[in-house]
């Protein structure tokens, strides 16, 4: 299994409980962002382009744990920013474990190896390392040489120490399926538990805007990547979500499935869009205009989104119905099969490759994740300095953050 039986049982019993109570909207994974500060500046990221006074803010451990209790989701994804920078990250993790929640601590792993001594291996704690490709693609995507080697070494160390480790790979419009397959092989070889995949979301604040995928291109790309998937490749996704990425199943977004709490409060409507904030989880649930969002809604920002934080919960919820269980059986059976592509799909994929080659030749360089760029319009002075140095910059590996800079 891609997850321990105890975790699968916890999630299954929770979902069944929500369905027995007749709740159509319920949280599955809390997206906890205790800070926005990061030690990298990936250009497909829309999470770190804040003024310096916002980047200094932290959600205290007390408030983070209260948010988890308030929300009630069985899984917490600690994102950011870089969570390992947070001065109270150990207290947050320990508190969530005591609450009985399963944790995915998302990290670029630059600080992971030295941070491992702060934690103890536990079935409820998983380090989710962002890996955007093999060495060349990954280092280019985060605009810093050497990051792949640092992250890979940290993954190896964490696995050897007995920690659960997964990876998260964001794919953009010129990802090379063969190179992605090479990454899968390397990650499985080093002993990661499972891998997550997602198409990048077109953040309005992301410096590089020509790297994102429209939904028809997402489906073709993921068909290419997942066609004939090796049995050794383990994915931290429901089979129905992987079928959704390939265009074999259609879902509408369930943004309430992955509610977000950060330094501003509860974010409306989802992890990717920030259309306002509330003080309480229930206020967020009650005051968000849910029908406006998703593929069936009217918000243009949602039309090409196929990201797991909006659709994995849809797939999981569906799998607990009889038709959804049948779809899951078929999706599981078809996951390892070679896919036959239509002439239209092959033509679109060829066009994608040609466009990517043209951008590369012109020096635009959209890469398998966020690529390097000198565009700094709309950023504060700190982000301008980071972007200006790009591949050769020297970024501090760790920041000293005083505990009194916590909270909103």
Q: What percent of the chain has pLDDT over 90?
A: 70
299-311 pLDDT, tens digit per residue, is 999 999 999 999 9
What are the residue ranges of helices labelled H in 122-214?
135-141, 147-160, 177-190
- Residue 368: its pLDDT value, please? 39
Bond before 192 cis per omega within 30 degrees: no
Per the listing, tokens 């030749």 go with 361
Q: Are 7 and 101 in contact (CB under 8 A)?
A: no
Q: Look up residue 43 and give its two tokens.
A: 């250009």
pLDDT at 285 over 80: yes
- The backbone torsions φ and ψ at residue 103, rounded to the nearest 5 degrees and listed phi first, read -115, 135
Q: Greatest CA separation found in the chain?
A: 60
52-69 pLDDT, tens digit per residue, is 899 999 999 999 999 999
> Which of 125-129, 195-199, 214-218 is predicted most confidently?
125-129
94-149 pLDDT, tens digit per residue, is 999 999 999 999 999 999 999 999 999 999 999 999 998 999 888 887 878 899 99
332-375 pLDDT, tens digit per residue, is 999 999 999 999 999 999 998 888 888 778 765 434 333 333 33
* Domain positions in the chain: 12-402
Q: What CA–CA distances, in Å, run from 247 to 91, 241, 274?
A: 41, 10, 27
Which CATH number fits the domain 12-402, given the four candidates 3.40.50.10470, 3.40.1280.10, 3.40.1190.20, 3.80.30.10? 3.80.30.10
How would you label 151-181 residue by residue, b for 16+ Cβ within 10 Å and e otherwise? bbebbebbbeeebbbbbbbbbbbbbbbeebb
7-16 pLDDT, tens digit per residue, is 999 999 999 9
247-268 pLDDT, tens digit per residue, is 999 999 999 999 999 999 999 9
Q: Judge residue 260's burial from the number of C-beta atoms within 10 Å of its C-beta, 0-12 exposed, 13-18 middle, 19 or more buried.
A: buried
């Amino acid at each position: 299994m891609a997850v321990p039986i105890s975790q699968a049982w916890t999630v299954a019993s929770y979902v069944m409980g929500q369905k027995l109570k007749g709740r159509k909207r319920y949280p599955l994974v809390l997206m906890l962002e205790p800070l926005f500060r990061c030690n990298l500046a990936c250009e497909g990221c829309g999470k770190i382009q804040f003024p310096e006074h916002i980047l200094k803010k932290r959600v205290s451990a007390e408030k983070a744990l209260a948010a988890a209790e308030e929300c009630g989701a069985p899984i917490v994804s600690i994102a950011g920013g870089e969570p390992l920078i947070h001065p109270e990250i150990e207290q947050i993790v320990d508190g969530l474990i005591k609450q009985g929640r399963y944790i995915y601590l998302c990290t670029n792993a630059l600080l992971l190896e030295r941070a491992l001594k702060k934690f103890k291996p536990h079935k409820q704690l998983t380090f989710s390392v962002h890996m955007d490709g093999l060495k060349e693609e990954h280092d280019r995507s985060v605009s810093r040489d050497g990051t792949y080697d640092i992250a890979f070494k940290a993954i190896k160390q964490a696995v050897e120490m007995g920690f659960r480790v997964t990876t998260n790979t964001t794919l953009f419009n010129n990802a090379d399926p063969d190179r992605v397959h090479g990454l899968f092989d390397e990650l499985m070889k080093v002993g990661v538990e499972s891998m997550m995949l997602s198409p990048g979301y077109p953040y309005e604040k992301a410096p590089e805007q020509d790297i994102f995928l429209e939904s028809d291109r997402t489906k073709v790309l993921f068909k290419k990547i997942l066609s004939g998937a090796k049995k050794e490749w383990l994915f931290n996704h429901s089979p129905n979500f992987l079928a959704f990425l390939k265009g074999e199943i259609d879902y509408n977004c369930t943004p309430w499935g992955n509610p977000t709490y950060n330094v501003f409060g509860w974010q409306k409507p989802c992890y990717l869009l920030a259309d306002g904030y509330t003080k309480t989880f229930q206020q967020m649930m009650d005051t968000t205009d849910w029908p406006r969002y998703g593929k069936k809604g009217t918000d243009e920002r949602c039309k090409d989104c196929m990201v797991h934080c909006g659709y994995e919960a849809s797939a999981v919820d569906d799998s607990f119905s009889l038709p959804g269980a049948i779809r899951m059986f078929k999706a599981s059976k078809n996951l390892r099969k070679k896919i036959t592509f239509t002439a239209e799909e092959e033509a679109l994929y060829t066009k994608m490759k040609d466009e990517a080659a043209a951008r590369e030749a012109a020096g635009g360089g959209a890469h398998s994740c966020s690529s390097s760029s000198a565009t700094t319009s709309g950023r504060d002075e700190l982000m301008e300095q980071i972007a200006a140095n790009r591949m050769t910059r020297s970024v501090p590996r760790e920041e000293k953050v005083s505990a009194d800079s916590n909270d909103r």
